[in-house]
Chain A
């Protein structure tokens, strides 16, 4: 597992146990997930027991221990989106892709995520794919939107 950015980051945080969460976050922003061998490196460099690294990596929901698909589909599960029918959107995406929330399809094309509220409540119900907002979505739009990502 070679990644220059990750190595530089770990270099900077040598021995700083308190920066564990930030380091894991930046690695995930860079690599989209946290491979086990990288976690081992984190443990060595930050001088934090591996068990504690795993404890943090498995506790916080953002951290991912398996590689995601090429595209991340967040269906916002915030309250405002919920009262505007986001469950039907989630069910429809799940149906079209044949995966449940948290899963990645067999071609590694999509990972489906029950998304946190991003505060754009006026756009609800919304789907966010790779950071692009698709707003005021109806179940009938879902297939068309997903087609744009291969």
Chain B
């Protein structure tokens, strides 16, 4: 493929791809996400390949191993287009029947579609399944329609149109203004306005500037970034290139997990393809803008997801954070302006440029715009990746989308934000998903890990679990964090064992306060948050284990 050297050439290529594709051609999307992989989707994919070969259908049917569809609980998931028939818990033995009946015969195989466990109601189309119905899948929705390794697939769904628009119809300032106007807030945990961060990096002195994708996702129970990045790497990359253009950066970094082979492969393939087509490298699309990307890996410590620690890691050093009196957007990697955003934040950029800030700002609440990806897990019936507009209530997520609590149990609490987050009891279920509202009740959204807890959960044990996790994940550089977490763990463990002493709760509160004030980075500053939250709402569980 020769490099594309103008906006017109890109559109011509897009037309050519579309002309070769008949929208009525049946296509089979088999989920190749992490959850389905563990449920044997590789065997399902092989069975489809064999069946297509056996019936000589290669010319008439498209088969795609796609990114995560979302509904992990019912994997392996298969969606058949053009009618978007959604099959669940598919086994290799079901494959010949699916090909015969649905792909060729346009009929639904009743036993493979979703049946509501309560009402026995059935749903054949993806958009009718209750899990998907209440979602607004602006980002993750493309996963079922593309092969993550195919740039042509991405171009076929209007991929890189936003990049072309940014480069040829807008200037860097205009792109920046659009992002600011859309009020895109960082999805990695802080909720800081991305446009302001970009502006700081853009205005920071220095020729050399960097842009970074934080794809670390080290929080246990969070898997939405992986699902998006593995399933649609070009979408993240397109956002990154647009951001680089707005900021004036020519070098990007992707920082991601080392333990997910599919993710690494899809990212590397996306970068190679983008270079081949002239979407990365020198003179992108003939615009004169140069930009390229390097991939770096986290090798197993949670703190390296923290921005300044992550930047140390990219330099090849240990991930020790530094105090942030100078922002990393002014002085980051090798002390140069470095703008870091999370996977999901970057993924939002292309749609804002394509459809405009006004459209984007029409989704969500007053101060939280757009949609949010969540990893729904724990004692919930429908574990999976969920995307909802801000403003959706927790109740809707737990019951309408999540299908309620497993094994007929009662809901006790919902926990957001993993080891640095907080739990809130059932009475807060009508709170809307919103950065500020959720922080107010003590369960900041964080990156979007949403853990549902049932009546059997011991909240002291949950706190002990998170503290134990963090003792192993703190870098150890600053004393309040390193020693504070250890001491809190010791005390909480003793309370958990029923050996709490009088004064323990007060001591815990004191340590938590010191850590919050004196730790270097957000890991230490917020390590006590699960403890503070459980003390706020479930104090009796601590008190019951303390001897008078």
Contact = CB atoms under 8 A, between A and B. Distances in A.
Interface stretch (A75-83, A91-99, A138-146): A75-83
B517 to A, nearest CB: 27
B269 interface: no
Contacts of B378: 79-80, 83, 121
Interface in B64-83: 72-73, 75
B300 interface: yes
A79 B223 CA distance: 12
A24 interface: yes
A104 B335 CA distance: 42
Interface string B299-317: 1110000000000011111
Interface residues on B, range: 35 or more
B451 interface: yes
A120 B35 contact: yes
Given A79-B465, A83-B451, A121-B375, A62 B299 contact: yes
A61 B39 contact: no
A121 B35 contact: yes
Given A79-B220, A118-B259, A121-B377, A18 B39 contact: no
Nearest to B302: A116
Interface string A100-132: 000000000000000011111111101000000
Given A62-B300, A79-B465, A120-B72, A133 B38 contact: yes
B3 interface: no
Interface string A58-94: 0111110000000000000111101100000000000
A20 B220 CA distance: 26
Contacts of B431: none
B383 A121 contact: yes
Contacts of B217: 119
Contacts of B72: 120-122
Contacts of B316: 17-21, 48, 56
Nearest to A29: B258
A55 interface: yes
Interface in B28-81: 34-35, 37-39, 72-73, 75
B451 A80 contact: yes
Contacts of B460: none
A63 B299 CA distance: 8
Contact of B223 (A24, A82, A120): A120
B300 A60 contact: yes
Given A61-B300, A61-B301, A118-B259, A123 B39 contact: yes
Contacts of B203: none
A120 B34 contact: yes
B221 interface: yes
Given A18-B315, A24-B299, A80-B377, A133 B37 contact: yes
B107 to A, nearest CB: 29
Interface string A5-22: 000000000000111111
Given A119-B375, A120-B37, A126-B38, A79 B221 contact: yes
A25 interface: yes
A24 B38 CA distance: 28
A121 B73 CA distance: 9
B89 to A, nearest CB: 12
Given A21-B297, A61-B301, A80 B221 contact: yes
Main secondary structure on A side of the interface with B: helix
Contact of A25 (B34, B219, B258, B383): B258
A63 B453 CA distance: 34
A78 B38 contact: no
A122 B315 contact: no
B226 A119 contact: yes
A79 to B, nearest CB: 4
A121 B217 CA distance: 14
A122 B377 contact: yes
B405 to A, nearest CB: 12
Contacts of B451: 79-80, 83
Contacts of B221: 78-80, 117, 121
Contact of B35 (A24, A55, A63, A122): A122
A25 B261 CA distance: 13
A102 to B, nearest CB: 11
Interface of A: 17-22, 24-25, 48, 52, 55-56, 59-63, 77-80, 82-83, 116-124, 126, 133, 135
Leading 3 A-B pairs by shortest Cβ distance: A119-B223, A133-B38, A62-B300
28 contacts: A18-B316, A21-B296, A21-B299, A21-B316, A56-B316, A56-B317, A59-B301, A77-B220, A79-B449, A80-B378, A83-B462, A116-B220, A117-B222, A118-B34, A119-B34, A119-B35, A119-B217, A119-B223, A119-B226, A120-B72, A121-B375, A121-B378, A121-B383, A122-B73, A122-B377, A122-B383, A133-B39, A135-B38
Given A118-B34, A122-B75, 17 more contacts: A22-B296, A52-B317, A60-B318, A61-B299, A77-B469, A78-B221, A79-B418, A80-B221, A116-B220, A120-B35, A120-B37, A120-B72, A121-B383, A122-B35, A122-B377, A123-B39, A124-B377
